[in-house]
Amino acid sequence: MAVTVRFAPSPTGFLHVGGVRTALFNWLFARHHSGRFLVRIENTDTSREVHAAAEQIVRSLAWLGLEPDEEPTFQLDRMAHHQETARALLETGDAYHDGGAIRLRTPSDGVIVWDDVVRGRVEVDNGTIEDLVILRSDGRPTYNFAAPLDDAASAITHVIRGEDHLSNTPKQLLVLQAIGGDRPIYAHLPNVHGPDGQKLSKRHGAVSVEEFRSAGYLADAVLNYLALLGWSLDEKTTVMSRSEIVRGFTLERVGSSPATFDHAKLRWLNGVHLRGQAQAAYGEALAAYLADIGFDGDAKLIRSSVPLVQEKLSTFAEYPDYCRFLFGPVEPDPAALVDAGPVLRGARDALRSVEPFAAPEIETALRAVADGLELKPRKALQPIRIALTGSKVSPGLFESIELLGRDESLARLAAAAA
RNA sequence: GCCCCCAUAGUCUAGCGGCCUAGGACGCCGGCCUUUCAAGCCGGAGAUCACGGGUUCGAAUCCCGUUGGGGGUACCA
């Protein structure tokens, strides 16, 4: 039987780290087995539904490249079927009315058992499970009734979800038993915690997928990082491409202890992925990101600046601070330029005649200036950098000058020397 | 309260009875490189494998207890 999995979020807000991790593991499992990955929005609790949350979730998944193999479905769309099933259960006596609701009759003794792929064998006393409401008094199904029904209807083979659903599993198994549905295989993933050990939430900083996107992270890096939260390929591999993860992913290597989200490691990993990109793709992604956040800069210039920054940035968000000087005037701190007159004038004279106006030639010329003034390169170049970029930290000076152009460079040098 | 789950360095993890004087990665510290910052390279500190009992010739690995953390206990998902 072909592997079919589903990611089933409730539309109560943005897709956050814990949610994506669950979605990712489902997607990886499906891809690894050439199976299908479905998305089902669990919207049976209409009172908690947040407007546009479903679209938001789907969009976040798309950004990460976790595209479902079918149009996402909404649980409530199958309400007629849920109600019909409840009625049938009523007729066989497996369910009964209670107030306005309908409850499933559950056994009071014995145990219900399943072999969880990540937890191992789990046994629950039937006595601890009370007759569960399957249809609310207003006719809407409850989650624990609708979910197993829908799983069965979609022929879900593996239910991969957060450990908060562990205690729902016996209930859903009981429902499945009552309707004679096939059992899927269950895998309950450990939670993702914040730095304080509490469940990850807003106050731990960026946790929604959208935030990572606007913070300049690469989807592949986020994916790589998330995959490592609870799963490992082997004893030493950290950096992996999407396809390497898909190839190596198995549920057997998913751990059962909760993980803490570490922004610093994500950041590092993002830098690694950024540096590994082809220059053209990097430029493409960078330009798209900058347009997204409203950075006003010529796309062509952005592209040509890629070689200057690719080795330096760990997120795209750092780009403006590094390269703002390429796109507009600078205001060097005069205090940092005292006594710099001779160097700046020397640089100006040298740059006036450099041919061609390219980094290697510029470097030769400026080093000669430093030599002539008997200054160490470190000493001589820093004021020039400040005059041209307005900052003590910048991309490579010579490449920056080339990109800035002769006229602009001379003008900035003159202004600073004055 | 009751039920369940988890427990290796600050963090993510490897480990599934002897290969472990516990491996990798982030972070941290130092050095090299160097036009700044990064990157890169080299080196270092950091874990009595939560604690206490067992089992075994031998335990991070198996069992029991304790502690800590988490989840559940809804006509929420």
Whether the per-residue pLDDT at A39 is higher than 90: the answer is yes
Q: Integer distance in angstroms from CA A257 to C1' B65?
A: 21
CB A116 within 8 A of CB A122: yes
What's the ipTM? 0.94
Q: What is the dihedral of CA A104, A109, A114, A119, to 10 degrees?
A: 110
Q: Is the pLDDT confidence value at A346 over 90?
A: yes
pLDDT of A203 higher than 90: no
Of the CA atoms within 13 Å of residue A102, those in its CB half-sphere come to 24
User: Residue A271, CA: closest nucleotide via C1'?
Assistant: B39
CA to C1' distance (Å), from A163 to B61 = 24
Rounded mean pLDDT of A397-409? Answer: 97
* In the predicted structure, residue A68 carries a pLDDT above the cut 70: yes
Helices marked H in A293-396 — which ranges? 299-304, 306-309, 319-327, 341-353, 359-372, 377-389
**Catalytic positions of A, please?**
202
Task: Note the pLDDT of residue A108.
Answer: 85
| pLDDT for the residue A208 | 87
**pLDDT higher than 90, residue A98:** yes
Residue A282 burial (CB < 10 Å; 0-12/13-18/19+)?
A: buried
pLDDT for A46:
85
Q: Stretch A18-47: mean pLDDT, rounded?
A: 95
What is the structure's pLDDT at A365?
97
Average pLDDT over residues A28-34: 97
Model confidence over A245-259: pLDDT tens digits?
A: 999 999 999 999 999
Q: Give the three-class secondary structure for A304.
A: helix
DSSP-derived secondary structure letter, A231: B
d(CA A316, CA A274): 9
**CA distance linking residue A255 with residue A43, whole number of Å:** 30
Strand B proximal to A121 Cβ, under 7 A: no
d(C-alpha A212, C-alpha A217), whole Å: 6
Q: Mean pLDDT across the stretch A266-291?
A: 97
Percent residues over pLDDT 90 in chain A: 84
Residue A35 has pLDDT above 90, yes or no: yes
End-to-end CA distance of chain A: 78
Average pLDDT (A371-400) is: 95
User: Does A314 contact strand B, using a CB cutoff of 7 Å?
Assistant: yes
DSSP code for A199: B
Question: CA(A312)–C1'(B45) in Å?
Answer: 27
Strand B contact with A17 (CB < 7 A): no
- Binned at pLDDT 50, 70 and 90, residue A270 comes out as very high
Specify the pLDDT at position A206: 58
A158-172, A185-199, A212-226, A327-341: segment of lowest average pLDDT: A185-199
A384: nearest Cα among A352, A335, A331, A337: A337
Structure tokens at A408: 């602009």
Residue A214 confidence (pLDDT)? 94
Region A51-58: mean pLDDT is 92
Cβ of residue A76 lies below 7 Å from strand B: no
pLDDT of residue A202: 64
Report the distance separating Cα A152 and Cα A150, nearest Å: 5
Per the prediction, chain A carries an average pLDDT of: 94
- Chain B footprint bases within 7 A of protein beta carbons: 2-8, 10-15, 23-27, 34-40, 69-77
Q: How many CA atoms lie within 13 A of A231 on its CB side?
A: 27
Q: How far apart are CA A314 and CA A264, in angstroms?
A: 10
Report, as an integer, the average pLDDT of A179-199.
Answer: 87
- Residue A371: per-residue pLDDT: 94
For residue A360, pLDDT over 80 is answered with yes
In this predicted structure, the answer to whether residue A197 has a pLDDT above a threshold of 90 is no
Torsion of the alpha carbons at A130, A132, A133 and A135, rounded to the nearest 10: -160
By C-alpha distance, which of A255, A251, A271 is closest to A263? A271
> Is the Cβ–Cβ distance between A122 and A113 less than 8 Å?
yes
In the sheet where A101-104 sits, what is the strand order? A95-98, A101-104, A133-135
Question: From the Cβ of A137, is strand B under 7 Å away?
Answer: yes
The whole model's pTM is what? Answer: 0.94
User: Which range is least confidently modeled, A19-23, A335-339, A395-399?
Assistant: A335-339
Task: Count other C-beta atoms under 10 Å from residue A342's C-beta.
Answer: 15
- Does the pLDDT at position A109 exceed 90? no
Cis amide linkage into residue A195, ω under 30° from 0:
no
Q: How far apart are CA A345 and CA A330, in angstroms?
A: 18
For residues A105 and A93, the answer to whether their CB atoms sit within 8 Å is: yes
Residue A164 clears pLDDT 80, i.e. is over it: yes
Q: Are strands A95-98 and A101-104 parallel, antiparallel or unpaired?
A: antiparallel
pLDDT at A207 over 90: no
pLDDT of res. A139: 94
Question: Residue A205 — pLDDT band, cuts 50, 70, 90?
Answer: low
Report residue A50's pLDDT band, with 50, 70 and 90 as the boundaries. confident
Only one residue has tokens 């409203």, namely A294
Asked if pLDDT for residue A196 goes beyond 80, the answer is: no
Mean local confidence (pLDDT), A214-237: 95
The residue lying closest to nucleotide B34, measuring its CA against C1', is A378
